[in-house]
Amino acid sequence: MKKVSILALHLGFGGIEKSIVSLANVLCKRYQVEIAVCYRLFPEPVFELDDKVKIVYLNQDDLLPNREAFHDAVSSHNIFKIFHEGMFSMKVLHYRKKNMVNYLRKCDSDVIISTRDIFNEWTGIYAKEGIIKIGWEHNHFHDDLKYANKVVDSCKNLDYLVLVSSNLQDYYSRRLEGTKCMCIYIPNCLDKIPKHKSPLKEKRLISVGRLSPEKGYLDLLRVYHILYKKYPDWKLDIVGDGVEKKLLEEYIHIHHMEEYVTLHGFLKKDKIDQLMQKSSIYLMTSHTESFGIVLIEAMSHGLPCIAMDSAEGAREIISSGNNGYLIKHRNYDAMVKKIGDLIEDREERLQLGENARESVMKYTSDVVGENWFAIIEESDVYE
């Protein structure tokens, strides 16, 4: 049986971390799978991981990132705290590299899958010859050429770079032409398809994601602030946590929307599934999104999806007028109009939802898993 190692920064909250767990759950059906993790943020992985997957934590439990503590020290202008937190941060980064490099040098796996550009670089330098070395890029560079250049430079000694969108595959294929690294498009996958679709009867809108600036949740509240005045019986559920939570709470309070908007915080998948089943439209206002796994999860429940087309991944998943709608130029009024149209036309909601559920069948773990198996077995599928 082949052995596969996946390199992870942590197994806490996050889209990359969820994708790592989903992939490990797929690969362990056929291979011995081990996840090498830098930081143990929680006693157990946040997302449900198959018992067959082995986890190796590399750093000591007390050697964790201290970004917030360092920023607080800087804000307080406390020189002693700045020095203390700065030195501790350097120690954490030192051991992150030292322990990961030691792991790579000793690694006896047949395949290594790296999930960060810095891990790509170390894998290319320190992993043994004969191991299949795969980079797995989840982020869209969104015109940030500095970031894109980092990814390109990190992958030159790898065998493959897996991209979660065809757009990114095209871009990095051009950038890595002339190197040994082959770029392959493999989308993220669904853990499962729900047995039942949402009946799309409840007057509820939903959005799921990290409460951070790039996800555009303040824009979602601005859209909803316009919408609920005309449709006050339609409520909005937002699932997730993050740095903007307090800002969103303040906006909701200032605009007297407490009884209309619920910030649920982080919820486990079964609770999110329950909310999806009670919802009728999924909304996304991300500024950038490399793939948008929450979209295919919503579609698997039969929800029509409306997203800003600035989210690159949404453009790959949503076919306007077929399984949802894409809103151009982050136009609030256009988004409000389209949500209103679906609120008033349940028949269209049902048709879009039916098409949405059919369109995500290509993202099942069985279908996506075969693409990963082809790389690991070095099949001629991609030659």
Domain assignment of residue 30, yes or no: yes
Residue 289 pLDDT: 87
Q: Considering the chain, what percentage of its residues have pLDDT values greater than 70?
A: 99
Domain assignment of residue 352, yes or no: yes
Same domain, 174 and 309: no
CA distance 271 to 273: 5
What pLDDT, in 10s, does the model give residues 225-261? Answer: 999 999 999 999 999 999 999 999 999 999 999 999 9
Sign of CA dihedral 43, 241, 62, 38: positive
CA distance 127 to 108: 9
Same domain, 260 and 137: no
Same domain, 376 and 253: no
Vertex 15 angle, CA 25 and 204, to 5°:
105
Residue 8 pLDDT: 98
Residue 72 pLDDT: 86
Alpha helices in the chain (DSSP H): 15-27, 67-76, 79-106, 117-126, 145-155, 166-175, 217-227, 245-254, 269-277, 293-300, 312-317, 332-344, 346-359, 365-376
CATH of the domain at 327: 3.40.50.2000
Same domain, 176 and 264: no
Residue 291 pLDDT: 85
Domain assignment of residue 194, yes or no: no
Domain assignment of residue 195, yes or no: no
Same domain, 328 and 208: yes
Sign of CA dihedral 175, 180, 186, 189: negative
Same domain, 146 and 209: no
Alpha helices in 156-229 (DSSP H): 166-175, 217-227
CB count in 10 Å sphere of residue 267 = 16
Q: Considering the chain, what percentage of its residues have pLDDT values greater than 90?
A: 86
Residue 165 domain boundaries: 3-189+364-382
Same domain, 150 and 227: no
What pLDDT, in 10s, does the model give residues 259-307? Answer: 999 999 999 889 999 999 999 999 999 998 888 899 999 999 999 999 9
- pLDDT band (50, 70, 90) for residue 380: very low
What's the chain's length in residues? 383
What pLDDT, in 10s, does the model give residues 366-379? Answer: 999 999 999 999 75
Residue 381 pLDDT: 42
CA distance 106 to 326: 48
What pLDDT, in 10s, does the model give residues 52-67? Answer: 999 999 999 989 998 8
Same domain, 305 and 377: no
Same domain, 97 and 213: no
Residue 74 pLDDT: 85
Instruction: State yes or no: pLDDT of 349 exceeds 70.
Output: yes
The structure tokens 């949503």 sit at 318
Domain assignment of residue 34, yes or no: yes
Same domain, 220 and 167: no
- pLDDT band (50, 70, 90) for residue 142: confident
| Structure-model confidence comparison of residues 7 and 381, the more confident one | 7
Domain assignment of residue 198, yes or no: no
Domain assignment of residue 171, yes or no: yes
Q: What are the residues whose beta carbons fall under 8 Å from the beta carbon of 187, sequence distance 6 or more?
A: 164, 165, 291, 316, 362, 363, 368
CB 25 within 8 A of CB 51: no
Domain count, the chain: 2
Domain assignment of residue 62, yes or no: yes
Residue 382 pLDDT: 44
Same domain, 118 and 221: no
Residue 347 pLDDT: 97
Same domain, 243 and 288: yes
- If you average pLDDT over residues 193-204, what whole number do you get? 96
